[in-house]
Amino acid sequence: MRFFHALTQSSGTYFLLSSKPMSIMSMSRAAHGDASQGTADLSTKSVHAGEALPKPGNSIADPIFCSSTYSFENSQALLDFLEQDASRDEYGRYGHPGQRTVEHKLAALDGGEAAVLFASGMAAIVGLLMAKLSAGDEVVFFDECYHRSREFCTAHLARFGVLTHQVATGDYEAMAAAITPRTKLLISESPTNPHLSCIDVERFAELGRQHGIETLIDATLATPVNLQPLAAGVDYVCHSATKYLGGHNDLLAGVVIGGEEKLDPIRQLRGVMGPVNAPQNVYLLNRGLKTFSLRMERHNQNGQRIADFLADHPRVEHVYYPGLKSHPTHAVARRTMRGYGGLVTFLVRDADWRQTAAVVDAVKIPRIAPSLGGVESLIEQPLLMSYYHVSPEQRRVIGINDNMIRLSCGIENTEDLIADLAQALGG
């Protein structure tokens, strides 16, 4: 496990990752020079990592810096900045103080050296791909993935001369066979959306190392609580921070985490393209992260309990949840994950799409909406919400059934959610 240490910058003292241990008590005293020993877990990191002390006005909460540009005291201060002798902000497109705080916090949670924050999850993965790939390069990715990620790879990257190969999720031999001398990146989600297949991240990372190719895991559905891809040797981990990290369905954000040197071209491109997140959004993300570890405990609990309930219900044909022994990747999930999250996908037995929609309409607590990972439970029928304009043949290829329901379990009382599902399913 890694721990915290204090790193002094111009704006204060930042709590970052280090191999030097520090206790919860000593973290609060770090700015005063106390070097007590101890450990810090994810819950402590989610509250304190990246926080600068003292904060302006000696406030507990981080302030919101609503400024598009930042002034210099004199020309020498500008020269110091240009010569990299000073760490500070210059122009809002390159970032702001609140962004740096959250980036340090997110890097700490995933065990990475650094993080690059974006305005959305898609902006993060697009930023990584655009920074790392050039015309003539190739990428290989497992085919169970967020449909917009698939669309960007297959439709938009192709316009810039980048070739993409899709292989069956979890088929490492097929991925190895798809690698050519031009392959620059291997991509996967874990768990995948919406079938919740889990990847053997160590095997995935080793495949990249064997061929000298960088690897990326989208761990949005897992979160740093349940999965640590960087510790398994993966080069990059990305999240849609809109989901569990923010946790309140009130912001958009995305992040790429990894080694400082590897992330530098991504950060540089972000400064050119401009998909930096707004100070207000970053404030909300930092506030959401304070309770992140606690919320994930309830998401994990609700997801498992509801998956167990649905698996035993006579009106349910099949449940996709890695915490169930019936899931094809359950063994991998048990070996690689600490918990299985709050997303549960299931099929309604002997139902067409209208009968399935009736079940969605009958629930009282979950809201019908896209996305996941917030404190409110959300429910959707993938056929209607995300794949309505996709042909039936294409839907069958990617496993989107007409009788499929995706439920994002929030943090409501478990028994209330189960009772609500029971009345909606009937039978």
Residues 152-200: tens digit of each pLDDT:
998 999 999 999 999 999 999 999 999 999 999 999 999 999 999 999 9
pLDDT of 52:
82
CATH, residue 414:
3.90.1150.10
Domain co-membership, 225 together with 301 = no
Is 161 in the same domain as 112? yes
Is residue 338 a part of any domain in this protein?
A: yes
Residue 22 counted as domain residue: yes
Question: How high does pLDDT run on average in the chain?
Answer: 89
- pLDDT of 150: 85
Q: Considering its fold, how many domains does the chain have in total? A: 3
48 and 162 fall within a common domain: no
- Dump pLDDT digits (tens) for 283-318: 999 999 999 999 999 999 999 999 999 999 999 999
For residue 43, being part of any structural domain is answered with yes
**What are the tokens at 90?**
């210059």
Residue 427's pLDDT band (boundaries 50, 70, 90)? low
pLDDT at 33 over 50: no
Whether residue 255 is found in the same domain as residue 319: no
Residues 257 and 347 in one domain: no
Which CATH number does the domain housing residue 174 bear?
3.40.640.10
Q: Is the pLDDT of residue 414 over 90?
A: yes
Lowest mean pLDDT among 54-63, 214-223, 348-357: 54-63
Whether 115 contacts 261, CB under 8 Å: no
258 and 120 fall within a common domain: yes
Catalytic residues: 93, 146, 218, 243
Query: Which of 225, 257, 290 is at the close of a domain?
Result: 290
Clarify whether residues 184 and 123 are in a common domain.
yes
Mean pLDDT lowest among 21-30, 51-60, 179-188, 293-302:
21-30
In a domain, 166, yes or no: yes
Exposure letters 83-122 (e unless 16+ CB within 10 A, then b): eeeeeebeebebbbbbbbbbbbbbbbbbbbebbbbbbbbb
CA distance from start to end of the chain? 49
Looking at the predicted structure, is the pLDDT value of residue 6 above 80? no
Pairing of strands 163-167, 138-142: parallel
Residues 398 and 286 in one domain: no
Residues sharing a CB contact under 8 Å with residue 228, sequence separation 6 or more, in sequence order: 110, 111
88, part of any domain: no
Answer yes or no: is 92 within a domain. no
The confidence band for 275, taking pLDDT boundaries of 50, 70 and 90, is very high
Asked whether residue 91 is domain-assigned, the answer is: no
Instruction: Please give the structure tokens belonging to residue 180.
Output: 């050519």
Asked whether the predicted pLDDT for residue 10 surpasses 60, the reply is no
Q: Show which of 250, 267, 290 is a domain's final residue.
A: 290
| Secondary structure class of 28 (helix, strand, coil) | helix
Q: For residue 89, tell me if it sits in a domain.
A: no
Domain residues for 136? 99-290
Query: 16-30, 129-143, 194-208: which range is least confident on average?
Result: 16-30
Least confident of 148-157, 333-342, 414-423: 148-157
pLDDT value of residue 372 = 97
Q: How many Å apart are CA 392 and CA 394, to the nearest integer? A: 5
Chain Cα centroid distance, residue 213: 22
- Could you tell me the two tokens for 232? 């398994």
Q: What is the pLDDT of residue 18?
A: 36
Domain boundary residue, one of 290, 325, 340: 290
Model confidence band, residue 247 (pLDDT cutoffs 50, 70, 90): very high
Instruction: Examine the domain organization and report whether 313 and 332 are in the same domain.
Output: yes
Q: Over 70: is that where the pLDDT of 40 sits?
A: no
Alpha-carbon torsion angle 219, 224, 227, 228, nearest 10:
100
Are 157 and 229 found together in one domain?
yes
Q: What is the pLDDT of residue 9?
A: 36
For residue 53, the model assigns a pLDDT of 85
Q: What is the pLDDT of residue 271?
A: 95
